[in-house]
């Protein structure tokens, strides 16, 4: 499904129903990145804000620790390269 089709499919969702939307996106097997981009396009929010919604959602709670650990490892390695 392309971006336009996804936006049309989820057009009735608002930020007030973000948990419902994220749950649907997860059930549809959209990745965290795809879900982030959908939120950015749909609600005209920043990538950081969309990422925060997703990372702190009930729908993605089981991935939160591994994602944070992965990100920390990336930033730690970048810091090592810069020093």
Using DSSP, state whether 31 is helix, strand or coil.
Answer: coil
Give the residue with greater pLDDT, 51 vs 67.
51
Tokens 């009930």 map to which residue?
58
Give per-residue pLDDT as tens, 38-62: 999 999 999 999 999 999 999 999 9
pLDDT at residue 1 above 80? no
**For residues 38 and 53, what is the distance between their CA atoms, to the nearest angstrom?**
12
Non-local (6+) Cβ contacts of 55 within 8 A are 32, 64, 67, 68
Q: Tokens for 22?
A: 């994220």
Segments in the chain forming alpha helices (H): 3-9, 18-27, 32-43, 47-55, 61-82
Give per-residue pLDDT as tens, 19-40: 999 999 999 999 999 999 999 9
Give per-residue pLDDT as tens, 71-82: 888 888 898 888
């Amino acid at each position: 499904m392309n971006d336009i089709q996804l936006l049309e499919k989820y057009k009735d969702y608002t930020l007030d129903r973000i948990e419902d939307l994220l749950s649907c996106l997860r059930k549809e097997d959209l990745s965290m990145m795809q879900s982030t981009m959908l939120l950015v396009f749909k609600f005209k929010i920043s990538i950081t804000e969309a990422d925060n919604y997703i990372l702190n959602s009930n729908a993605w709670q089981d991935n939160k620790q591994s994602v944070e650990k992965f990100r920390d490892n990336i930033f730690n390695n970048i810091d090592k390269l810069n020093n």
